[in-house]
Structure formats: structure tokens, C-alpha cells
Amino acid sequence: MKIIEKIDELRLSLAPLTYQKTEKQPYKTIGFVPTMGALHEGHISLIEEAKTKSDFVICSIFVNPLQFNNTGDFTNYPISLEKDIKMLEKAGCDLLFLPNSDTMYQNSVRTKMIFEELDSVMEGTHREGHFSGVGIVVAKLFNIVQPNHAFFGQKDLQQFAIIQQMVNDLSFPIQLHCCPIKREEDGLAMSSRNRRLDEDQRTIAPKIYESLILTKKMLKKDQTIKKAQQSGLSHLQKYKEFKTEYLEIVDATTLQPLDSELDIKKLDKKIKIAVCVATKLGEIRLIDNILID
Ligand code: AMP
């Protein structure tokens, strides 16, 4: 696997791949997986999916300071570069783009992105400026890598909706793919932040997924949105360690919360529902979601 740190070097290295030389030597399609490192099986599943849809797979590792609204979360973000490189090599990734902050943000960034109602809910309200930072780094990486396909996890459902909106609004010629959430055996969604959990926190962390399953069950039993939401929240409230920020039942495409008095039976069958949760265990903030057909 090639490792490249500089933008010019990356562009130079990719140019021969994306240039169609002859009929017999057509250009190669590029699949791109942006990450912040501290890789786990969830990230690797994106690389594997990218390999099925593209000829050349690029992963980036960059802990983007612009998307952190909490300095502690940024400075304590786990780093495991050597292990990451081994995992990427084993997964058959072709190239790792590994820029540092100076490379990505030579000049201070003055651009801001707003996504209207898409970022006025859930993560957007609890992490001010987060999605502007995500939008800027992803747009920059798209311009640098110029992939044909880009792969993101459903784990960050709101992020996916926002990037899809940005790709449509700004006409990036990139096909996005939303890949399923990889979980530990006990249901906990894999996350780089999980490795910061202490033993006790790790023991109760699967309750987050349980709360989603419970909410889904209540919805399947035709309870109102409010009752289903309450049951999910109460499950977390049993454990004083959780400081829950939200558990929302939303339209999975628009991300807008469904009317709390709504009787699920009356909902348009075509609407895909998602239950999304964000909660803190000590200083560690975890998110998860589940889709309901
Ligand atoms: P991150 O490094 O946390 O920014 O994540 C990089 C990409 O991996 C994002 O598109 C995430 O949604 C995705 N991802 C993170 N955790 C998981 C998981 N458990 N399963 C699948 N994809 C994930």
C-alpha cells in the first residue's frame, strides 16, 4: 500500500490511473473511504465494500480539527497509526492519504457551510459547527482525491444525509454509498471512541443499542411516537452513568423528528424511519441508530 502525505504528490500519483490511455487500457475507477483513523472492523467493512465497487481504493486518515466543538474530545481522540496501516494493508487498500493539519489547512479557513434543517436537529444542535467542519473537510478531500465512489457508514446517519445534500447541491460527480453499522457481539456499535471506555462503562455501553431495539419494538407494536421514544429513553435512564442528549424518532431521509402524537399506523408506508441516539458515558460521547422499514 502506498502512503502519501502531500496533496501534489497524491494528484501526480493518481493522474495516470484516471487518464484513459487506449480502449484496452481504460481509466480506473477510484473508491474513497475518508476516516479519522483508530480503525476498527466498521472502517474495514467500508474498504471491503469500496473494493467491490471500484478498481483502486484510497483511504484517508485525518483527525479534522474543524469538526470538533470540544477540545478535550479532539486532543484525546485515539491514534493507532501503525495498527491502522496493517489493517488497511490486510484489507487490500491501495493507497493511504495521510495529510497533516498544515497540509489540509495551510491558510485559516473562512468558509462555513450550513445545511438548514438537516443540521438544526440532533448532532447539529448538540455539536455547534460540527457539520460545517465535516462539510469542509469532505469537500476538500473530494477535490483532492476526485473519487468516482465514496463510502460512508450509516453509523453517522446525519453526516451521510448532509454529505449527500452537499454532493447534490455542488454537483460533485461522485456516487455515495451508505454502508451498514458493524457491531460488537453484544450489540455495541463499533467506534474509535469505544477504546476510551473503562471496564464499567464498556459493560453498560450495549444498553445504547438495547434502547434502540426497545424503541423499534414499541413502534412495531403500533405505539405512538412519544410512547416509543419514552421507552427507549427510560431504558437508558435506569443507568445513572448515561447522560443522554437525545433519542429521536425521525424520517430517515429528511432527519426531521416525527410528530410525537403520531400514531405509527397512520404514517405513510413509504417513509423510512430511523431511531437515533446520542449519550455520554463520562466524557465519552457515543452515537448509534437503527433503521425501521
Ligand atoms: P470516523 O473515523 O469515525 O470518522 O469514521 C469514518 C467512517 O467510518 C464514517 O463514514 C463512519 O460512519 C464509518 N463508521 C464508523 N463506525 C462504523 C461502524 N461501526 N460500522 C460501519 N461504519 C462505521
Q: Which atom of ligand 1 is nearest to the CA of 34?
A: 6
130 annotated active-site: no
Alpha carbons 182 and 188: distance in angstroms, whole number = 9
- Per CATH, which fold does 192-292 belong to? Pantoate--beta-alanine Ligase; Chain: A,domain 2 (3.30.1300)
C-beta 190 within 6 A of ligand 1: yes
Q: How many CB atoms neighbour CB 74 within 10 A?
A: 14
Pocket probe for ligand 1: among 41, 46, 167, the residue whose CB has the most ligand atoms within 8 Å is: 46
C-beta 179 within 6 A of ligand 1: yes
Residue carrying C-alpha cell 465514496: 150
Amino acid 222: pLDDT: 75
Find residue 148's DSSP bridge partners: none
- Per CATH, which fold does 2-179 belong to? Rossmann fold (3.40.50)
Q: Please state, in angstroms and as integers, the Cα–Cα distance from residue 132 to each residue in 63, 67, 88, 146, 220, following that order.
A: 15, 7, 28, 20, 36
Ligand 1 centroid–CA 204 distance in Å is 21
Amino acid 273: pLDDT: 94
Ligand 1 centroid–CA 176 distance in Å is 14
Provide the phi-psi class of 116: left if phi over 0, else alpha when psi is between -120 and 50, else beta. left
Read off the pTM.
0.96
C-beta 60 within 6 A of ligand 1: no
Residue carrying C-alpha cell 452515537: 287
pLDDT < 50 regions, the chain: none
Per-position DSSP letters for 157-185, written without gaps between them: HHHHHHHHHHHHHTT---EEEEEPPPB-T
Catalytic residue among 40, 43, 130, 235: 43
Amino acid 267: pLDDT: 79
C-beta 35 within 6 A of ligand 1: yes
pLDDT in tens, 78-96: 999 999 999 999 999 999 9
Contact 210, 235 (CB under 8 A): yes
Amino acid 91: pLDDT: 98
pLDDT in tens, 212-250: 999 999 998 877 899 999 999 999 999 999 999 999 999
Could you state, in order of their start, the residue ranges of all structural domains in the chain? Answer: 2-179, 192-292
C-beta 138 within 6 A of ligand 1: no
Alpha carbons 102 and 66: distance in angstroms, whole number = 13
Q: Could you tell me the three cell numbers for 127?
A: 455539536
